[in-house]
Structure 1
Amino acid sequence: MYYNRTRAAEINAPIIVLEAALTMSSCLLLTCLLSAIAATGYGLSCIDCTSLSGTVCNGSSMVCPSGDYSCLLSYTVTSIGGMEISKLYIRQCAQNNLCSKTGSISLPNGKIKAGTTCCTSDDCLPPKPTLPPDSSEKNGRSCKACFAPNSKTCDTELFTDCVGNEMMCITQVSTTTGDVTSTTTVQGCSTKEMCQPARQMWNLNKMKVHLENTCLNNGVYVQPNLMLAAIALWLFWKSSC
């Protein structure tokens, strides 16, 4: 009897080992499948909406693409002649390089100020962005300045004086697609934050706005005394001809 039990144990041992191996393999396979599903099937969800009323909007939830994304809140104020003409709030999924920015662009008789904040939980509301303070102090630089609707270029000889921290000359081309298709080009003075990233994409309800920023960090830096010297040399050259 003892022999039979021992023999039976020896016969069943490989079967038990095989069953354990199969069970372990199944668990590993299930774990891998669940990991793959989690990696490909889950993404951060964020509210997607736009408001021109000057108040933070609320809208439907959308799942962000995979990668380095956060829920973004953008606040942009546009002024012409010192009067605010629009206050735009945007909530959407955005790549992390759009987060935590505050900057401004000066245009002919106009100003654009913007700020962004982010958060990283599903459908979260980021804190209200802050805008850069107004400044009228010229920093010694000037940039070509223009506003050209329905154009991808902006040929101008008009210059605007840069103020505050606006040490860059920016050319910004915005292309809107969707219900309305249009392209607008602006040039002016800009803070560094408004130049990066060079390519951006924003959702405006049923429309998408693609921004392309090209910036120069030297601008046109001319001291007043050098400007006077240049004018004097030009007048001397004209009188000699």
Structure 2
Amino acid sequence: MKRWTNPKPFGGSVTVTAYAMLCIPTNQCSKSGSISVYGGLKTKMASACCTTDNCTPTLPSLPSSSSSYNGVVCQSCTSSTSTSCSTSNTVQCTGDENKCLLYTLNSAGSAVSNAFRGCASQSICDIGSLFSTSNVDIKYTCTSGGGALRHTFYLPALIGLLLLKFLF
């Protein structure tokens, strides 16, 4: 199975289009999705497949853009030296990006590690650890949108209210 992938990051005035041909499981064919991180950087991806030997799939269609906020808020950060990052920065998710994503890459052979957090569409989350090999481990880990941020606010507020009740 071969597929074209077309990651297309855009933020500000920079647009980059790239294609790659890979062999993948059939359940990853005809997928598209997007990722957004703090600072306005957005990446769109799409796949197209063909099933015969030495075939060339058609170029995939990228998902449409949406600037409509969907109510989901995710932490957003990047790290070029570690498989984790933590921040108080957040990004408001738009369109069908209703999951919070932690992307990690760890390359044992070259000691390369990086990570980022942001918003993602479900199809990006479905990739999971599809691209892991013996030397490179790439993971897409998603959570329900913004739950951790809401709990972070509610727990201190609840504790404060309980303290006020017991003190007065």
Normalised by the shorter chain, which TM-score bucket?
A: 0.7 to 0.9
Distance (whole Å) between structure 1 residues aligned to residue 22 and residue 72 of structure 2: 35
What amino acid is the match of 1:214?
T
Match 2:25 to one of 95, 106, 119 = 95
Match 1:211 to one of 129, 134, 138 = 138
Match 1:104 to one of 27, 34, 50 = 34
**Residues 1:159 and 1:113: Cα distance change in structure 2 (over 3 Å):** same
Query: Given the alignment of the two structures, is residue 201 of structure 1 paired with residue 93 of structure 2, yes or no?
Result: no
**Residues 1:181 and 1:129: Cα distance change in structure 2 (over 3 Å):** farther
What amino acid is the match of 1:198?
G
Kindly, what percent of the aligned residue pairs are identical?
28
Query: Given the alignment of the two structures, is residue 145 of structure 1 paired with residue 76 of structure 2, yes or no?
Result: yes
**Deviation at 1:157?**
1.1
Give the total of aligned pairs.
155
Query: Given the alignment of the two structures, is residue 75 of structure 1 paired with residue 6 of structure 2, yes or no?
Result: yes
Residues 106-162 of structure 1, C-alpha deviations (whole Å, 9 max, x = no match): 011211100001110011111111111111111111000011111111111111100
Question: Higher relative contact order at CA 8 Å, sep ≥6: structure 1 or structure 2?
Answer: 2
**Residues 1:114 and 1:124: Cα distance change in structure 2 (over 3 Å):** same
Match of 2:115 in 1: 185
Match 1:172 to one of 103, 114, 127 = 103
**Deviation at 1:196?**
1.1
Distance (whole Å) between structure 1 residues aligned to residue 9 and residue 137 of structure 2: 18
Instruction: Structure 1: state its 5+ residue gaps.
Output: 1-69, 223-229
Runs (4+) of structure 1 moved beyond 3 Å?
none
Residues 207-233 of structure 1, C-alpha deviations (whole Å, 9 max, x = no match): x754201101242499xxxxxxx8xx8
**Deviation at 1:169?**
0.4
RMSD of Structure 2 on Structure 1 (CA) = 2.9
Match of 1:155 in 2: 86
**The structure with more radius of gyration:** 1
**Residues 1:175 and 1:99: Cα distance change in structure 2 (over 3 Å):** farther
**Residues 1:181 and 1:79: Cα distance change in structure 2 (over 3 Å):** farther
What amino acid is the match of 2:142?
C
Distance (whole Å) between structure 2 residues aligned to residue 125 and residue 140 of structure 1: 40
Match 1:132 to one of 54, 63, 86 = 63
**Deviation at 1:177?**
6.2
Report the TM-score when normalising by structure 1.
Answer: 0.57
Match of 1:62 in 2: none
Distance (whole Å) between structure 1 residues aligned to residue 97 and residue 140 of structure 2: 15
Is the contact made by 2:74 and 2:145 (CA closer than 8 Å) also made in structure 1?
no
Please state whether the residue corresponding to 2:18 is helix, strand or coil: strand
**Residues 1:202 and 1:95: Cα distance change in structure 2 (over 3 Å):** same
Is the contact made by 2:101 and 2:143 (CA closer than 8 Å) also made in structure 1?
yes
Please state whether the residue corresponding to 2:57 is helix, strand or coil: coil
What amino acid is the match of 1:171?
L
Distance (whole Å) between structure 2 residues aligned to residue 196 and residue 221 of structure 1: 20
**Residues 1:83 and 1:211: Cα distance change in structure 2 (over 3 Å):** same
